[in-house]
Amino acid sequence: MTLSELLKDVNIKKIDGGGSMKISGIACDSRKVKPGNVFVCITGYETDGHKYAKSAVENGAVAVVAEHDLPTVDVPCVIVDNTRKAMSEMAATFYDYPYKKFKLIGITGTNGKTTTTYLIKSILEHLGKKVGLIGTNQNMIGDMIMETSRTTPDSLELMQLFDMIASHNVDYVVMEVSSHALALDRVTACTFDVGAFTNITQDHLDFHKTMEEYLAAKSILFNICNTGVVNKDDARSEYLIENARCRNMITYGINQDCDLKASNIILNEDGVKFDINYGGMEEHVDLPIPGEFSVYNALTAIGCCMAENIPLDLAVDGLHSAKGVKGRIEIVRTPGTNYTVIIDYAHTPDGLLNVINAIRGFAKGRIVTLFGCGGDRDASKRPIMGKIAGELSDFCIVTSDNPRTEDPEKIIKQVVEGVKQTDCDYEVITNRFSAIEYALDHAKKNDIILLAGKGHETYQVLGKDTIKFDEREIVQKLLGCYDK
């Protein structure tokens, strides 16, 4: 591929020759540049890729894409307004638009993305489709698992991943689409067959600064999809619907007039049961995942299937074969005990509210909530989460989550401010391992111990270091029943 061919979808402000030169690939990390690559200068949060253009050339880059002139670089320089957007467009071109080789479904929202993608995958596989999945927990092709480090890869990694998945002749790819990915042009070159919105609650305000900016980022998905599927019960859904540029829109909910509606909802410890109506057709759903939020996740999944013209009865049949997701109301094996340990990823105010309320629906004893808040992230949600945990739990253990480079004691102090606004008794134990040990040592009959915040994660980030920290293994080792 020539440089001119690679740039055919990019809005170029200026280019200094080199259009006919052959290009071997694209890189945005100067250390990973190979001979014949184009190096894209990305301005990040900790450093600026423009500083490494000369190093990239020394490593073999034959052209550079930048947002301003680079006098010290002696290869063709392509100037664009936005290098992130340009990289997305270039990557799509280089890998021959791999997302066009399968049906692409994207899910955005604060909570519910992961579970919803698995529900959709379950439905489609029940219908005999081969499905790829890209998400927070892991990336998958059918039953083959590939580890992942973030919800949505950068645009270059994403197109490489799409290309690899397409080589396996999948019918669908279902992916979580984070607000960061939308705001940072990681998916800007994609066209989604279906884009879905689960909900929006406070999160990521360290990045987006305001809820308005956060919502605006989410809304981008509905400008690059053919059919939108939107939770009409969410108060901010009207903004998405009014500003969407997609051709079609399907709405769902429990409380509002919408296209796809759930009614006669029964919640219990084994899951949820409800009736679902779409266009006059009605089916009964029996989903083995507890909590009212599971009703919404199921509605999102079925809405996406309706967008793909899958009959309602077949979509519901596929849903019945769905299983729980790792780190989402996941019950840990604790033989010989008279209490229950549940792990959940809840790390936002709404997520914590939802999971404790779900547990409250079947708890026979106390709810003991062990949780913390991540460092280097939105600090304003910390007292809010503390208050929610205190109001809904019988006992709280405030500990560390991923403190990263922040002082764990400072984070905990902010969380405790919220707990103190309630009548809930609590204990502060900064070390998370010790906190879990305390929770198990003091558990009473019929207690439910909720380990919130880590979910599927098997690590903890302390300072700049990432250490192994799998709460399933920790619980079982403390109980002497770890069998690996």
- Kindly write down the DSSP assignment for every residue of 284-327, as one continuous string: EEEESS-SHHHHHHHHHHHHHHHHTT--HHHHHHHHHT----TT
Known binding residues are 30, 109-115, 151-152, 178, 186, 377, 401-404, 453, 457
Q: 480 CB contacts (<8 Å, ≥6 apart)?
A: none
325 in a domain, yes or no?
A: no
Residue 80: its pLDDT value, please? 97
Mark which of 44, 75, 94 sits at the end of a domain.
94
> Rounded to whole angstroms, how far apart are CA atoms 390 and 362?
19
Same domain, 85 and 224: no
Same domain, 228 and 124: yes
Same domain, 253 and 296: yes
The whole domain housing 43 covers 3-94
- C-alpha Rg value of the chain to the nearest Å: 24
Q: Taking Cα atoms as reference points, which of 250, 243, 99, 92 lies closest to residue 162?
A: 99
Known binding residues for meso-2,6-diaminopimelate are 377, 401-404, 453, 457
Same domain, 315 and 396: no
Mark which of 34, 66, 94 sits at the end of a domain.
94
Q: Taking Cα atoms as reference points, which of 95, 51, 48, 55 lies closest to residue 75?
A: 55
Same domain, 68 and 108: no
What CATH code is carried by the domain that includes residue 390? Answer: 3.90.190.20
261 in a domain, yes or no?
A: yes
What CATH code is carried by the domain that includes residue 278? Answer: 3.40.1190.10
Same domain, 337 and 438: yes
- 202, 384 Cβ separation under 8 angstroms: yes
Known binding residues for ATP are 109-115
Distances in whole angstroms, Cα of residue 293 to Cα of each of 109, 112, 283, 359: 13, 8, 19, 12
Beta strand pairing call for 131-134 and 139-141: antiparallel
367 in a domain, yes or no?
A: yes
346 in a domain, yes or no?
A: yes
Mark which of 285, 320, 355 sits at the end of a domain.
320
Same domain, 53 and 117: no
Same domain, 404 and 359: yes
Same domain, 143 and 252: yes
Same domain, 108 and 236: yes
Per-10-residue mean pLDDT of the chain, 484 residues long, equals: 96 88 95 96 84 95 95 93 96 97 95 92 96 89 76 85 96 93 91 95 58 85 97 92 94 95 90 94 93 93 97 94 84 90 92 90 92 93 96 98 96 97 98 97 96 94 94 94 63
484 in a domain, yes or no?
A: no
245 in a domain, yes or no?
A: yes
Residue 147: its pLDDT value, please? 67
483 in a domain, yes or no?
A: no
Same domain, 153 and 76: no
What CATH code is carried by the domain that includes residue 9? Answer: 3.40.1390.10
DSSP class of residue 75? S
Domain count, the chain: 3
Same domain, 89 and 102: no
Distances in whole angstroms, Cα of residue 38 to Cα of each of 60, 90, 171, 451: 9, 10, 32, 46
14 in a domain, yes or no?
A: yes
- 383, 417 Cβ separation under 8 angstroms: yes
